[in-house]
Amino acid sequence: MSYQLSAPESRRGRVVVGASFVTMALLYGIWYSYSVFLVALLREFGWSRGLLAGAFSLFALIHGAMGPLFAGLADRLRPQRIIMGGAFVVGAGLLLAAETTAWWHLYLAFGVVAAVGIGFCGYVPLIVLIRGWFPGRIGTAAGIATAGIGVGVFAVVPLCQLMIDRFGWRWALRILAATVVTWMVPAILGLLREAPQAAAPSPPVGSAQATVRGAAPFWTLAAALRSWRFWGLGAALFTSNTAITILMIHQVAYLVDHGVVAMVAATIAGMVGLVSVPGKMGWGYLLDRVPRETVYTISSACFLASLGLLVMAGDYPASPLPYLYAVFLGVGYAVTAPLTPAVCSDLFAGQGFPAIFGAVHVSLGVGTAMGAWAGGAIFDAVESYAAALWVAAGLTILSVALLWTVAPRRPNPPPGDLGR
């Protein structure tokens, strides 16, 4: 029998979703603000763009690796304790990054320490808390909470540029560190609470206790790893996220190179996040009513249009084209958040879904890392972003083809049939 929330508990659950919204806005606003810090670091140190982008690539890889590690720790410790520790680690990482004088300082402070902190208090931990409150409405609750990421991009990225212009990039990082701790400590103590039924964890997938619950076979991580669809889905998400990150991390540098004022470029980057908020909700609505492949094809067409608009914006930086680019990019890239769990659920439903979803998510982290690095490395090689934009276009088309091949519209065979 499922646990039913009382009215006060339901209100508390909504508070958790709201607090998660604000937390994701702050943490992932800092994540995407690296695009404006990259420009500031270029000016001060003159390091190559590939070297600077590499710090963000390391950050993305470390952040992605924290998801499975958090899941293991959450079986032994209360999630709130882990989130609290993560908040202080984020603050420490940003403070250390503010003292950067050599490239490896940035890699260690931001690429490792800050990434570990956000991994322990960001997306995965917050979704674990939310799922405890709304197990039957996780899609809606998670959609509302993750919409905070778009708000964070809109608000935090331009704010970081404003602080850099006013106080310098070192003090901007210190202010961000203080802001994280100032918000996270009271939020964890008073707002981000576990649901009452979360105190009794469910048995591990594959255990004898879990198996007794139903005789029908279900997908396990081991079975998914033997399925070509798992790897096909991972490849589709990897290519998509690589293309997206090329733009998300290097768009400010591209616009500044082509004559756009740094503050205006940061505002355009923030617009991408704002547009992505209704974008996530709209794509999520369509994904429940239109075949996943069709929705992804339409969103990818928007992304490809943004590439063309960015090129034209470089030729006419004072025109409305940079803002039109932000609208199409915000709409196009927003599909990733609702698409990933929807397709993964289509292909690998059952008790093993959480572990499989976590494993699939690794491809997103690797794609993010590759996109950040590749954009900088290509620029360093040819002194232009033109080739990087062509790479992003090709990867987007490949990603669409891969998703149609994986075909989430056709259910997978029962995992009990695999290898038998």
- CATH 3.40.440.10 for domain 220-411, yes or no, is no
Please name the residue ranges forming H helices in 75-122: 79-97, 103-106, 115-121
The C-alpha atoms of residue 244 and residue 246 are separated, in whole angstroms, by 6
Please give the chain's pLDDT, 420 residues, in tens: 444 555 455 678 888 888 888 998 999 888 878 878 888 898 888 888 778 878 888 888 888 888 777 766 765 677 778 888 889 999 999 999 999 999 999 999 999 999 999 988 887 778 777 777 776 566 667 777 878 888 887 788 888 988 998 999 999 999 999 999 999 888 888 777 776 764 444 444 443 334 444 445 567 878 888 889 999 999 999 999 999 989 887 888 888 888 887 778 878 887 888 888 888 878 877 877 788 899 999 999 999 999 999 988 888 877 888 899 999 999 998 888 778 777 877 787 666 666 777 778 788 888 888 888 888 888 888 878 889 999 999 999 999 999 999 887 776 665 555 444
Question: pTM for this structure?
Answer: 0.75
The C-alpha atoms of residue 312 and residue 198 are separated, in whole angstroms, by 52
pLDDT tens digits along 257-267: 888 877 788 78
Nearest in space to 356 (alpha carbons), one of 202, 141, 205, 139: 205
Q: Which CATH superfamily is domain 9-194 in?
A: MFS general substrate transporter like domains (1.20.1250.20)
Average pLDDT, the chain: 81
Taking CA atoms, 301 is separated from 63, 295, 305, 328, 362, in Å, by: 29, 10, 6, 9, 25
DSSP 203: P
For residues 131, 135, 137, 139, the Cα torsion angle rounded to the nearest 10 degrees is 50
For residues 244, 246, 247, 251, the Cα torsion angle rounded to the nearest 10 degrees is 160
DSSP code string of 10-43? HHHHHHHHHHHHHHHHHHHHHHHTHHHHHHHHHH
- Residue 399: strand, helix, or coil: helix
Predicted local confidence at residue 122, as pLDDT:
81
Please, what is the Cα angle at 66 between 296 and 359, to 5 degrees?
Answer: 45
In the chain, CATH 1.20.1250.20 covers 9-194, 220-411
Predicted local confidence at residue 190, as pLDDT:
77
Q: How far apart are the first and last CA of the chain?
A: 33
